[in-house]
């Protein structure tokens, strides 16, 4: 199984500042035939189901604000929130869908400093 | 409006069975792969199983293979998860979600508690 490791486990950032969350895969999740990275990012607020933020490592989901961006390729990926808003407090997960089982990272808890 | 509504969770003894349901609306159910994801209390997300549009392909995480069965009824716009031989470690909120890979719509979840 592909192991996904996120860092840090928790993060406190001031309002308006940049937040960066990292995601590392135990093997490359770049599919050579279509040059796509099979990685998604989700946001989960307390008491709510996850919400898709990013897919194909860098494509924003429907209605996702453009302060959220995804980058990276191969085994190393990053979710960046360019200017943290109060409503961004949540746990963020990355998930690989390169091979089954489609494993998630352990999550990164983002708080306001 | 897209909606996914899970039901069927509850308290069950170890070794028991439960059948979860997910009824969807607002999109053509038969056009989509569907997935179950679970989340143990206070823990992260775990992909459990998925099923192709016509039910011809199904896949499971190893920890539930042979115990859980995913199925669907496209006429009823419903997804199911039959869970047998339940263990304490199956205790979780179970979410149904739309998609094969990235999961773009999720239900609110249903809590399954396995305890004596």
How does the average pLDDT of chain A come out, rounded?
97
- In tens digits, chain A (113 residues) has pLDDT values of 999 999 999 999 999 999 999 999 999 999 999 999 999 999 999 999 999 999 999 999 999 999 999 999 999 999 999 999 999 999 999 999 999 999 999 999 999 99
Nearest CA in chain A to B93: A49
Q: Does A106 touch chain B (CB under 8 A)?
A: yes
Q: Over the stretch B74-95, which tens digit does the pLDDT of each residue have? A: 999 999 999 999 999 999 999 9
Q: Over the stretch B35-49, which tens digit does the pLDDT of each residue have? A: 999 999 999 999 999
| Span B47-69, average pLDDT | 98
Facing A93 at nearest CB: one of B45, B50, B109:
B45
Q: Kindly report the nearest CA distance between residue A40 and chain B, in angstroms.
A: 6
Q: How far apart are CA B73 and CA B54, in angstroms?
A: 9
Q: Do B62 and A101 touch (CB under 8 A)?
A: yes
Strand arrangement, sheet containing A39-44: A10-13, A108-112, A90-96, A39-44, A51-55, A59-60
Confidence of residue B9 (pLDDT cuts 50, 70, 90): very high
CA distance to A99, B14, B64, per residue, from B116 (Å): 36, 7, 20
Q: How far apart are CA B30 and CA B33, in angstroms?
A: 8
Chain B positions in Cβ-Cβ contact with residue A93 (cut-off 8 Å): 44-45
Q: Do A104 and B47 touch (CB under 8 A)?
A: yes
Residue A28 has a CB neighbour count (10 Å cut-off) of 15
Count of all residues that appear for chain B in the document: 116
Q: How far apart are CA A25 and CA A23, in angstroms?
A: 7
User: Number of helices and strands (H, E) in chain B?
Assistant: 0, 11
Q: Kindly report the nearest CA distance between residue B110 and chain A, in angstroms.
A: 11
């Amino acid at each position: 199984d592909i192991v996904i490791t996120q860092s840090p486990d928790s993060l406190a950032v001031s309002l308006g500042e940049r937040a960066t969350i990292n995601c590392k895969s135990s093997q490359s999740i770049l599919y050579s035939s279509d040059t796509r990275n099979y990685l998604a990012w989700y946001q989960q607020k307390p008491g709510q189901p996850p919400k898709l933020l990013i897919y194909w490592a860098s494509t924003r989901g429907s209605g996702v604000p453009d302060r959220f961006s995804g980058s990276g390729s191969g085994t190393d990926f990053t979710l960046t929130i360019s200017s943290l808003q109060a409503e961004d407090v949540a746990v963020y997960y990355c998930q690989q869908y390169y091979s089954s089982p489609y494993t998630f990272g352990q999550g990164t808890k983002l708080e306001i400093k | 409006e897209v909606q996914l509504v899970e039901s069927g969770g509850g308290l069950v003894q170890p070794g028991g069975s439960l059948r979860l349901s997910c009824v969807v609306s607002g999109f053509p159910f038969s056009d989509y792969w569907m997935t179950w994801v679970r989340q143990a209390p206070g823990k992260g997300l775990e992909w459990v199983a998925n099923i192709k549009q016509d039910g011809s392909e199904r896949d499971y995480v190893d920890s539930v293979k042979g115990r859980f069965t995913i199925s669907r009824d496209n006429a009823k716009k419903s997804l199911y998860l039959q869970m047998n031989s339940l263990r304490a470690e199956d205790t979780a909120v179970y979410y149904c979600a739309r998609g094969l890979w990235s999961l773009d719509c999720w239900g609110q979840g249903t809590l399954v508690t396995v305890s004596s």
